[in-house]
Amino acid sequence: MKISKRVIISFLSAMAFFQPARYVIGDIITRMWNWYVIGVSLIYITLYILVYTRRRITKADIGIIAMLGVFVYSFLIASLFNISTSNFKGGLIYTITTIGFVAYLCYGLEKEPKILLKGYVSAGMTMSFIHLLTILLYQNKGGMRTGISALGRAYSDNWFFLSHANAAFYIFFPVIIALFVYAYTYEKKLIKVAYAFLVFTLVCLYVQWSLAGFIGILFFAILLTLDGLQKHLSNKIIYKFMNLRLIMVISIAVELFLALFSGLSKYTEFMYLYFGKGQSIGARLRIWEKAIECIISHPIVGNGWNYESVAVLRLTSSHTHNILLEFLYCGGLIAVVTFIFSINYLQKQLNKAGNAIYKDKSMRVVLFSVVPFVLAATFDFYMYRFHTLIIYVLLWYLPKKGIKK
């Protein structure tokens, strides 16, 4: 079977964004890979700017730029306000790679969506499959622990091919979404492969017992199952459930319940009783308390992107383990308001498109991914894992432009 050069280019471009962990490939290859991803990012940023300047500004452009503004501000601008404690160099790199990844997606969806999705899914499934195999190999014990002591991490952490513990969920979950979109749009015979990969991922996350990842994949599988039964359910209920504003309100309510009304302590007891995870869940409450203290000290501008050592001293962890607190901690109210604007703006456009967009299976798959993402991000979230931005980008391109056959 002949593979086109364009697919190979898309594959190699996507591979840049699936960097194995440093403890797997070593310092030298990590530095080389960093230049690889920066180079790819700069190329696609340039290409998309050329496309952007040759046509009228669209609503999708405004929405995507607003969402990118959350990350640019949190990584870069807020770091300038806190230059003494911020890792400005790291923030700059994450700014470039985040914009580069989105530019890669937007450029591909503008020009050749099928090529983009095929390259991204091929690269993503390759790296994700290797990661999942390492979970089966090491299970919940962790195995790739070279250099953990140097990073100041406990030896009880689970370290695998792409990342440790829950972090990899935000890498391969977007791949699963893209695989379903590609299968339903171009290759119906791959639908069974998509479901098989989903089940395999769920089994691996259960074996590892990655809490946030398991919750996310499980709810995604449940929603896909319910979608298959939609003839027996009320379509109005399904459409209401897809409302992004409603999802945001519910997620914030859940977070307030967990953080302020002792909901976490009850949840901790449940997790300890049935899964032995009480200690790690309970630790989140301490991290959230520390995060809130830091947020209060810089409520408007945020704390910027910190060195890991600084974050550990402030939070007792490298991150806040919660999407809302992470945005508030790094970018303050400026980042959160920008994030809310971008989501609200997208919902307005989806409302204008009407219920007809929900008849498209690919569109429903992407919308169904929002709830699992929010649930997972309530218990663990890594701002530098930009891969989940594909959900936001696809929600703009699927209903408005459609995926070209």
Phi, psi of 159 (to 5 degrees): -120, 125
As given in the structure block, the two tokens for residue 80 are 């300038």
Instruction: Report pLDDT digits (tens) over 292-344.
Output: 888 998 899 999 999 887 888 888 778 888 888 899 999 999 999 999 999 88
What's the rounded Cα separation, in Å, for the pair 173 and 375? Answer: 13
* 278, part of any domain: yes
Instruction: Report pLDDT digits (tens) over 176-191.
Output: 999 999 999 999 999 9
pLDDT at 149: 46
pLDDT at 267: 54
Q: How does residue 11 score in pLDDT terms, banded at 50, 70 and 90?
A: very high
* 69, part of any domain: yes
Radius of gyration of the chain (CA): 20
Q: How does residue 282 score in pLDDT terms, banded at 50, 70 and 90?
A: low
What's the rounded Cα separation, in Å, for the pair 389 and 66? Answer: 12
Lowest mean pLDDT among 3-12, 17-26, 156-165: 156-165
Q: Nearest-CA neighbor of 177 among 99, 125, 127?
A: 125
Task: Identify the residue whose tokens are 């601008």.
Answer: 77
pLDDT at 277: 54
* 143, part of any domain: yes
pLDDT at 274: 46
SS3 296: helix
DSSP 252-274: HHHHHHHHHSSHHHHHHHHHHHH
* 405, part of any domain: no
SS3 306: strand
All residues at 6 or more sequence positions from 320 whose CB lies less than 8 Å from its CB, including other chains: 287, 288, 291, 326, 329, 381
As given in the structure block, the two tokens for residue 244 are 């992004």
What's the rounded Cα separation, in Å, for the pair 275 and 169? Answer: 19
Confirm whether pTM is higher than 0.75: yes
As given in the structure block, the two tokens for residue 195 are 């479901």
Number of domains composing the chain:
1
SS3 131: helix
SS3 162: coil
Q: Other CB atoms closer than 10 Å to residue 55's CB: what's the count?
A: 9
Buried b (16+ CB within 10 A) or exposed e, 193-216: ebbebbeebbebbbebbbbbbbbb
- Contact between 311 and 317 (Cβ < 8 Å): yes
Helix axes 263-275, 244-260, angle to 10 degrees: 90
Task: Determine whether 304 is exposed, middle or buried from the number of CB atoms within 10 Å of its CB (0-12, 13-18, 19+).
Answer: buried
The residue range of the domain holding 41 is 5-400
CA geometry: angle 227, 125, 229, nearest 5 deg:
10
* 125, part of any domain: yes
Instruction: Report pLDDT digits (tens) over 136-187.
Output: 887 766 555 544 444 444 444 557 888 876 788 999 999 999 999 999 999 9
All residues at 6 or more sequence positions from 331 whose CB lies less than 8 Å from its CB, including other chains: 70, 73, 74, 78, 301, 302, 338
Instruction: Report pLDDT digits (tens) over 85-103.
Output: 788 999 999 999 999 999 9
Residue 18: DSSP 8-state = S
What is the pLDDT averaged over residues 334-363? 84
